[in-house]
Structure 1
Amino acid sequence: MSARDNILAKLRMANATPLKEPETAEYYQEMSPHWDNEVDRLKHWAAAMRAVKTEIYWVRANDWAKTLVEVAQQKGLRNILLPLQTEHGQTAATAVKAAGIEVKAFERPIEDWKDEFFADIDAGFTDSRCGIAHTGTLMLWPTVEQPRSQSLVPPVHICLFDTATMYDDFYSAMQGENMAEGMPTNVVLVSGPSKTADIQLTLAFGAHGPRDMVVLAVLPEHINPADLAD
C-alpha cells in the first residue's frame, strides 16, 4: 500500500465513525458565569468594557438624549452622523440640533461623499441589538438605515444600549436573538474603541476604527444608578 492509499484508508475509517455533535447548550449552561441579580451582571459588564477604555453613562429612557448632547459638548464634536430613519436617530437629532451641533446622515450614495465621510465626520451614533455580560460586549445589527460604517468609520462611536437586552454569554445571545434567522451580512461585536499593539507592542487606539467608544446604557426604573457605582 502506498503512502497515499494509507492516508485515504485512515480518512475513510475516521469518516465511518461520525463525531458526536457537542451539547452546546449544556456546555454554556455549565461553563458560563451566572449572576444572582441584574445589578451584579451589569456591574460585571461595565467593568469589562471600561477595562478596554469604554466610557459608560447610566441613563434613563426619557433623558438619554440630554446625556448625548453633554458628551458631544465635552468632546468638542462639531457634527454627529445619525440614523435619521430610526426613532432613536430622530430623537437624537432634535436634541443635537437644539445644542447647535450639526446633524449628518446617509442621505446620498457613499460614493458621492466618501472623502467627507472619512475626513470630516466627528462621531457616529447607533443603537445596539443586545449586550453580552461575560465579555463586556455590545452586539450591533447593521441595517440599510444604520449601516456598519456608521459605527466603524467615525473617530468617536456613541452607542445607545437598552440594558434590558442583556445576555450572560454569546450563545445565549445567539439563541435569544434568533440569529439563525434573518441575520444581516455582518453582525458587529464591540467591546471598546479600536486598538492595536502591532507596532513595537505599543498599545494605540483608533488605528482601525473609532478611538473613543461611548455607551449610553439605558437602565430600567427599578435599578438605581448609585447601586452600579464602582
Structure 2
Amino acid sequence: MNFPDTRGARAAILGALRASAPATAQPAPDLSPYLDGPYGRGSRGPRVDPATLIAPFEAAAKSWRAEVLHANETGWPRVVRQALAQRGCTRVAVGAASPLQPGLDTALDGLHVRRFDAPLQQWKAELFDAVDAGITAAEAGIADTGTLILRPNSAEPRTLSLVPPLHVAVLHASRLYPGLPAAMAAVTSQQSDMPTNLLLVTGPSKTADIQQVLAFGAHGPKELVIVLVNDLHVAKEPQ
C-alpha cells in the first residue's frame, strides 16, 4: 500500500506554530500556592517521617478497594504467597529481572511462573487468558491518596500490572511520601535522568457508565493487593 506524502503538510503546520510562538519566553508559573496547600504536602522542608504515613496510606488505599497486607523484611514472600493462595492463583507473571529477587522466587516456589522475558506477541494469549496474577515492585507510595508509583521498564513491563485479574504490588514503607510532589521529587532525584514512564495506580481498575454504576476490572485488574513491607528500622530513604 502506498501512503500519501504528508511531509509538506506537516512542515507547513509546524512552521505556522513556530511563527505564532511568543518572541520571548513566558515566565514560569508560581507553584507556591499549590506546594504550600494540602496537595503539595511534604514537598518543602524536612522529609515527613514515613512511619507516620503508614496508617493514612492504608486508609486511603482501602477506600479505593485495595487490600493492604503488612509484612516485615523477611516475611513478605510468605505474605505474597498467602495472598495468592487465598485467591486460588497458580499461574503468575513476573518481570524478567524483578527487583524483588531473590525473595520473589521463594514466594512463588511450586507455582507456574511466567517471566516476561520474550516479546508480548509471543505469549499474549497466555497472558490474557491463563495468567492469574501479576507481581510488581512499587517505586513509591502516596499517603494522601493511597496511590502507588510504579516505574515500568524492560525488566518489569507495565503490562504486568495492567492485564492479569490480580495485581500484587510490594511496597517498602521507607518509600512512603505524603503527597504527589514529594513522591515525584524523590523518585526523580534517585535517577540519573527523568524516568520515561511512571505509572500511578490507585486501587483496582474501575469504570462507571452513564448511570454511574461502578464496575471493577473492566480495563485492568479486578483486585489490587499491596504488601507493605516495614523496613523503617533498618533503612532510611535518601533526603
Whether contact under 8 Å (2:50, 2:174) holds in the other structure is no
Instruction: Choose from 182, 188, 196 the match for 2:199.
Output: 188
Matched AA of 1:143: N
Whether contact under 8 Å (1:83, 1:90) holds in the other structure is no
TM-score w.r.t. the length of structure 1 is 0.80
What are the superposed Cα offsets for residues 21-68 of structure 1, whole Å, 9 maximum, x if unpaired? Answer: 233256313443469754442211111110010000111111100001
Whether contact under 8 Å (2:141, 2:177) holds in the other structure is yes
- Tell me how far apart the structure 2 counterparts of residues 36 and 140 of structure 1 sit (CA, whole Å): 21
Cα offset, 1:193, TM superposition = 0.2
Cα offset, 1:17, TM superposition = 9.4
What are the superposed Cα offsets for residues 195-219 of structure 1, whole Å, 9 maximum, x if unpaired? Answer: 0112531111000000000001011
Matched AA of 2:28: E
TM-score w.r.t. the length of structure 2 is 0.77
Structure 2 residue 146 is the aligned partner of structure 1 residue 139? no
Q: What SS does structure 1 have at the residue aligned with 2:36?
A: helix
- Tell me how far apart the structure 2 counterparts of residues 200 and 73 of structure 1 sit (CA, whole Å): 36
Structure 2 residue 62 is the aligned partner of structure 1 residue 50? yes
Whether contact under 8 Å (1:83, 1:89) holds in the other structure is no
Change over 3 Å in CA distance of 1:37–1:168 after alignment to 2: same
Matched AA of 1:193: P
Structure 2 residue 226 is the aligned partner of structure 1 residue 215? yes
Structure 2 residue 108 is the aligned partner of structure 1 residue 96? yes
What are the superposed Cα offsets for residues 95-152 of structure 1, whole Å, 9 maximum, x if unpaired? Answer: 312xx32111113221111111111110000001111112211100001010000111
- Tell me how far apart the structure 2 counterparts of residues 208 and 186 of structure 1 sit (CA, whole Å): 19
Q: What SS does structure 2 have at the residue aligned with 1:142?
A: coil
Structure 1: unaligned runs, 5 residues or longer: 1-11, 224-230
Cα offset, 1:189, TM superposition = 0.2
- Tell me how far apart the structure 2 counterparts of residues 182 and 195 of structure 1 sit (CA, whole Å): 32
Instruction: After superposing the two structures, state which structure 1 stretch, 106-115 or 23-32, moved more.
Output: 23-32
Instruction: After superposing the two structures, state which structure 1 stretch, 196-205 or 208-217, moved more.
Output: 196-205
- Tell me how far apart the structure 1 counterparts of residues 183 and 48 of structure 2 sit (CA, whole Å): 18
Change over 3 Å in CA distance of 1:39–1:24 after alignment to 2: same
CA RMSD of aligned residues (A): 2.7
Change over 3 Å in CA distance of 1:94–1:192 after alignment to 2: same
Identical counterparts, % of pairs: 34
Residue of structure 1 equivalent to 2:213: 202
Instruction: Choose from 2, 6, 23 the match for 2:30.
Output: 23
Structure 2 residue 159 is the aligned partner of structure 1 residue 152? no
Cα offset, 1:184, TM superposition = 3.8
Instruction: After superposing the two structures, state which structure 1 stretch, 121-130 or 103-112, moved more.
Output: 103-112
How many residue pairs get aligned? The number is 209
Structure 2: unaligned runs, 5 residues or longer: 1-19, 235-239
Cα offset, 1:87, TM superposition = 4.3
